[in-house]
């Protein structure tokens, strides 16, 4: 019995010791883990770290500030050396070295050139074209050419509308873009005066191909066009880079109806017109087309420049001879197009100058004269010769090339009756 009581007391004592120990440890923070506390912070080390990282940040900022970038778009007769010289940088020997791998040797007009430099030190040159991307890195003194993958898509689209106010606004509302509108006007420009002949209720339609490169619109080509003007219908088919009527007659005539696009006739051909400046009856032996200063002026036909310069009340003037019979005069220009000179041959629709108000003029316009064997004629009433007609064999080829779209053309033709 005594032995049992002794063992019981011993067990109870051990149990009490364990309970007390747990209680004492439980009142200590983080009692289950040993933590090394730092009572004092080393301010010297903190300041040292602070200044170290501030210096690193300032270095990065300084480098970014010193790094400059210049972007050029290559013009005629420019090369990499010339572009580097513009920003006072020397051309690396590797750039001018003629090797197969040097993609900087043959840069093209409109290529994008990006030059990165710091002070007078060249960092890199990047040349971007439609086909590739060429990179020169100064650190490695290396040139790498990356070929760009180009995805091309062609979409055939149909646009048509009835003219309510103006041809241009109606064409925009139909979905045509400005370049396509100008192309449509060019096709019918020999038969239709787009300022004087257009009437409310006229209609038009086109079937065209839009070409996309990497999902960006590159160009458009009108395959078929129809224009209903004053109850008369004109149709044009694309064949061998030109436009023809269904019977093979060329849409192109010997002369354009007017020397500018989308104009307003401010004064017509009149042998007994009251002069607006001198207030006297004087013959007006041409047609005045009012347009904003700077509007391009075209040669209305193929020919050769026989006069260029100031000509009295005409101001800045160009006279073009078209064969042995015809000649045309363009007056009051603000300036001539660069490269125009006496003796130069020009093509129909080639820009020769720009609308102005030089000489005796009350406002910006081009005075246009048309002469036959030296005699003045009203250009709005002259009947021009048609272009060369296709042979029977080529007419068949043209119709065959459009056969698959004939149902679409018929639908467009009947869209507005």
- pLDDT confidence bin for 35, thresholds 50/70/90: very low
| 28 in any annotated domain | no
| 60 in any annotated domain | no
In percent, the amount of the chain with pLDDT more than 70 equals 78
Single residue among 123, 147, 171 that ends a domain in this structure = 147
Identify which of 16, 122, 22, 21 has the alpha carbon closest to the alpha carbon of residue 68. 122
| 318 in any annotated domain | yes
pLDDT at 163: 92
| 9 in any annotated domain | no
pLDDT at 257: 81
For 208, residues 6+ apart whose C-beta sits below 8 A from its C-beta are: 156, 157, 159, 180, 220, 221, 222, 223
Strand partners, 72: 113
| 24 in any annotated domain | no
Pairing of strands 351-355, 326-336: antiparallel
SS (H, E, C) 105-120: CCCCCCCEEEEEEECC
Residues 372, 276 within the same domain: yes
Q: Is the pLDDT of residue 46 over 60?
A: no
Structural domain containing residue 271: 264-377
Identify the CATH number of the domain in which residue 175 sits: 3.10.450.350
| 35 in any annotated domain | no
pLDDT at 55: 67
- pLDDT confidence bin for 270, thresholds 50/70/90: low
Nearest-angstrom CA–CA distance, 147 and 111: 15
In percent, the amount of the chain with pLDDT more than 90 equals 35
Residues 287, 368 within the same domain: yes
- pLDDT confidence bin for 32, thresholds 50/70/90: very low
Single residue among 127, 147, 167 that ends a domain in this structure = 147
Quote the tokens at residue 131: 């086909």
| 90 in any annotated domain | yes
**271 vs 285, which has greater pLDDT?**
285
| 167 in any annotated domain | yes
The H or E element spanning position 353 is strand 351-355
Average pLDDT of every residue of the chain: 82
Q: What is the pTM assigned to this prediction?
A: 0.55
Nearest-angstrom CA–CA distance, 241 and 254: 18
Choice among 45-54, 160-169, 279-288, 333-342 with the minimum mean pLDDT: 45-54
- pLDDT confidence bin for 64, thresholds 50/70/90: low
Residues 280, 371 within the same domain: yes
Over residues 355-372, the pLDDT tens digits come to 999 988 888 999 999 998
pLDDT at 215: 74
Average pLDDT over residues 282-296: 85
Q: In the chain, how many domains are there?
A: 3
Over residues 72-87, the pLDDT tens digits come to 998 888 888 888 888 8
Nearest-angstrom CA–CA distance, 288 and 27: 106
Q: Is the pLDDT of residue 22 over 60?
A: no
150, 133 in Cβ contact below 8 A? no
For 251, residues 6+ apart whose C-beta sits below 8 A from its C-beta are: 187, 188, 190, 191, 236, 242, 243, 244, 245, 387
């Amino acid at each position: 019995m005594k032995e049992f009581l002794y063992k019981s007391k011993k067990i109870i004592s051990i149990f009490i010791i364990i309970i007390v120990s747990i209680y004492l440890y439980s009142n200590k923070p983080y009692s289950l883990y040993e933590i090394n506390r730092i009572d004092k912070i080393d301010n010297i080390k903190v300041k040292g770290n602070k200044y170290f990282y501030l210096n690193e940040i300032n270095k990065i900022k300084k480098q970014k500030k010193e790094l400059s970038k210049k972007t050029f778009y290559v013009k005629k007769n420019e090369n990499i050396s010339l572009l580097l010289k513009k920003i006072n940088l020397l051309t690396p020997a590797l750039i001018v070295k003629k090797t197969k791998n040097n993609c900087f040797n043959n840069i093209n007009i409109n290529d994008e050139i990006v030059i990165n430099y710091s002070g007078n030190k060249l960092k890199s040159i990047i040349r971007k074209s439609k086909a590739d991307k060429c990179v020169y890195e100064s650190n490695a003194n290396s040139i790498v050419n990356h070929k760009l993958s180009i995805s091309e898509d062609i979409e055939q689209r149909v646009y048509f509308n009835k003219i309510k106010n103006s041809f241009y606004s109606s064409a925009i509302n139909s979905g045509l873009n400005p370049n396509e509108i100008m192309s449509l006007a060019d096709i019918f420009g020999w038969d239709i005066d787009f300022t004087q002949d257009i009437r409310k209720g006229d209609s038009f339609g086109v079937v065209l191909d839009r070409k996309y490169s990497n999902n960006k619109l590159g160009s458009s080509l009108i395959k078929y066009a129809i224009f209903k003007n004053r109850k008369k219908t004109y149709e044009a088919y694309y064949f061998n880079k030109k436009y023809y009527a269904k019977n093979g007659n060329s849409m192109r005539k010997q002369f354009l109806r007017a020397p500018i696009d989308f104009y307003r006739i401010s004064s017509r051909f009149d042998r007994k017109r009251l002069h607006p400046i001198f207030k006297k009856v004087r013959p007006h032996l041409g047609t005045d087309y009012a347009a904003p200063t700077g509007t391009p002026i075209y040669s209305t036909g193929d020919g050769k420049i026989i006069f260029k310069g100031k000509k009295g009340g005409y101001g800045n003037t160009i006279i073009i001879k078209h064969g042995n019979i015809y000649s045309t005069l363009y007056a009051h220009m603000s300036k001539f197009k660069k490269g125009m000179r006496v003796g130069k041959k020009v093509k129909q629709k080639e820009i020769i100058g720009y609308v102005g108000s030089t000489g005796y003029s009350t406002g910006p316009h081009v005075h246009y004269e048309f002469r036959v064997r030296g005699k003045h004629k009203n250009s709005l009433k002259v009947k021009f010769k048609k272009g060369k007609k296709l042979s029977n064999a080529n007419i068949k080829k043209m119709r065959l090339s459009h056969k698959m779209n004939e149902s679409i053309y018929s639908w467009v033709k009947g869209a507005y009756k």
